[in-house]
Amino acid sequence: MKNRPVFYFLALFVCLWAPVKAQDTVRLTLDSCLRYAYKHNISMLSAELSEERAEATLEGAKMNFFPSLNASASAGVAWNDGRTRSGNYGLNASLPIFDGFNNIRTLQYAKTGREQSELQVKQMRNSVGAQIISAYLTIVMNEEKLAYQQEVLETSRQQKDEGALKYQVGKILESDYKLLEANYLSAESELENTKITIEDNLSTLTKLMGLANKNDNESSLRKKKTRVVYAVVKDQWTVASDELLPPADTVLARSMRNMPDWRLNDIDVELARLNVELARSAMMPSFSLNAALGGQFLPDRPNDDSFAGNASVSLGLSVPIFDRGSTITNFKKSKINLREAELQRAQKLIDLRKEIEDLYREVQRSLNRFRSSEALAYAYRDSYEVYSIKFSEGAVTAVEMLQQQEKYLSALSEWLQQKYSYILTKKQMEINMGE
């Protein structure tokens, strides 16, 4: 069902904002977790504020091309052989004609800065997405592990109960029964530890989503009368599909088109180049057109004109001559910074390309490890089941049976680790490719 993730997200939203009953369960799909985190994660919100700040800076850079307009007015009363009232009014305007291309460079810098902030939001989105996926898959992995552990626990309980009966009639030694009892307690302990691990990662997931603060605030408002229990949902996102991987060249090409990191490296150089141009602008003369309209109002002097007005238009010229080398020094430093930015971009591009290639190879290795560990886990499971039956029939000792159980649990744990490691690395590769 295409609308299924949306349904879960809406259910999550309703549960967060509407009064809930104690022990209500919010079912979290990976899709709903990502969508919610993109709107409420603190790092995402901070990145979006930076984008808004860059947009405001751009609007300010555009306004530099408009004339400035100022109005002034004053009124006063003086006593000198009588009372005299007076008033002065003025309107001043200034329009930059040429400022060494400073306003143009400032506008270009602001536009590039806005693009940089947009890409940083996308970069943060990818980072938050990867963290969400990692926490989510860890929970799903441990829930799957929990299901197997529950099976083993039930089998261990049956073996312990059977062992108690056999010990009472003398069919097994006391040491064998104690091993069975200790094995049951160990299985029970491992199961409880897995539950704790799930809770820990669920807490991490809710914090990444931005739910922790919201729930704390709501709890204080409701005086902690309610509690929400979250449950993750296995869906198509969490399936370790054993399909062919795209060619390495395809992955690299798509990653280069979609990862914001590539363009951000170019932007760093562009900003450094614009800083050079801005430093050069400071060494050039500037022209401005100035206009003024003013007047004086003297109502208490009827023998003279009650209002005297004046207007003027002038062309202003400013030429930097000597500022103790400050402008030249800034220009030289900006050129050095540009060269440094170019070198850093070259190195970052090399590192980024290697990072993508390394991740692709890691996906291949993870897939191979997943395949082999899966086959081994099933083989040890079959062996363990056979030994369990033989133990019930008295054909093998408790030690031999428990050794097979230990091998099975170890292989099972390795298989789950490799399975979800493969899913995670593949999802990271898909994020880089823009999926």
pLDDT at 435 (0 to 100): 80
Mind listing the pLDDT tens digit for each residue in 172-213?
888 989 999 999 999 999 999 999 999 999 989 989 998 865
pLDDT value of position 298? 64
CA 320/CA 285 separation, integer angstroms: 6
Which burial class, exposed, middle or buried, applies to 57 when counting CB atoms under 10 A from its CB (0-12, 13-18, 19+)? Answer: middle
| CA-wise closest residue to 96 among 63, 72, 71, 70 | 63
Number of domains forming the structure of the chain:
1
Decide if 340 is inside a domain. Answer: yes
Report the CATH number at residue 154: 1.20.1600.10
Residue 2 pLDDT: 41
Are 238 and 416 a contacting pair, CB within 8 Å? no
pLDDT attached to residue 46 = 94
**Is 263 a domain residue?**
yes
Kindly state whether residue 54 falls inside one of the protein's structural domains. no
Query: Tell me, what's the pLDDT at 240?
Result: 66
Give the whole-angstrom CA distance, residue 392 versus residue 180: 12
Tell me whether residue 229 is in a domain: no
**pLDDT for the residue numbered 300:** 54
Residue 207 tokens read as 């914090």
Q: Does residue 417 sit within a domain?
A: yes
**Tens digits of per-residue pLDDT, 57-66?**
999 999 988 8
- pLDDT given for residue 183 in this prediction: 93
Ranges of the chain whose pLDDT falls below 70 = 1-26, 77-86, 212-231, 235-242, 297-308
Residue 171: give the domain boundaries: 68-208+243-432
- pLDDT reported for residue 337: 96
Tokens of 409: 């649990």
Kindly tell me the burial class for residue 130, based on how many C-beta atoms sit within 10 Å of its own C-beta (0-12, 13-18, 19 or more).
middle
Minimal CA–CA distance to 64: which of 92, 97, 112, 19? 97
* Residue 234 in domain: no
Residue 88 lies in a domain: yes
Q: Would residue 61 count as lying in a domain?
A: no
Does residue 363 contact residue 245 with C-beta atoms inside 8 Å? yes
